[in-house]
Chain A
Amino acid sequence: DAGITQSPRHKVTETGTPVTLRCHQTENHRYMYWYRQDPGHGLRLIHYSYGVKDTDKGEVSDGYSVSRSKTEDFLLTLESATSSQTSVYFCAISESYRTGANVLTFGAGSRLTVL
């Protein structure tokens, strides 16, 4: 959808390799989030950002790092991918942190398979 794009949309990689997923937004929203979606679980927050160079951990941050050098880009890096990181990853953006007062806009998702 317009406003937020994720790349790559699909990736297959091997255990131990580094992987970077990119989220790009054109809405100039301050807050950006990375979630993972797995069967039997609701979406779970990995990391989020509240501004350029300002990031914080979510509930499932182990094995992941993030960077935000520009307002529009939020990168999620798996330094050494493991099979447990096989998942669908969603980026989301919002105008403010108060998700109770603001609607989240989600990207289309990135399906990652770690063999």
Chain B
Amino acid sequence: KNEVEQSPQNLTAQEGEFITINCSYSVGISALHWLQQHPGGGIVSLFMLSSGKKKHGRLIATINIQEKHSSLHITASHPRDSAVYICAVVSYNTDKLIFGTGTRLQVFP
């Protein structure tokens, strides 16, 4: 079993919909990252968080350390949000990143 699991693996939405991507992990962590990867493109860091909630524009990331779970929300989704969203946790023991396999989001007009 992967130490970091994301769901769903694939997600399609209509423009304007509210999107939620989930990340569950099984190791002790010191922080969690959300990353975005556009098709054929590089990887961009969206959030780094260790507790609570962070917001940037239409994106909101939350984390529940006790439940070992994080969510990435996109409000008023837009076709330009189409990308792969990757969750990565920082292992408390090794201080190394463990990556999920990503959630592929497609937003249609």
Contact = CB atoms under 8 A, between A and B. Distances in A.
Interface of A: 1, 40-45, 58, 90, 92, 97-109
Contact of A40 (B44, B45, B101): B101
Contacts, number: 61
B96 A106 contact: no
Tell me what chain B mostly uses at the interface: helix, strand, loop, or mixed: strand
Contacts of B35: 106
A96 B39 CA distance: 29
A45 B4 contact: no
Given A42-B2, A103-B48, A90 B97 contact: no
A90 B86 contact: no
B107 interface: no
A43 B99 contact: yes
Given A41-B101, A42-B88, A42-B101, A98 B95 contact: yes
Given A42-B2, A42-B98, A100-B30, A106 B86 contact: no
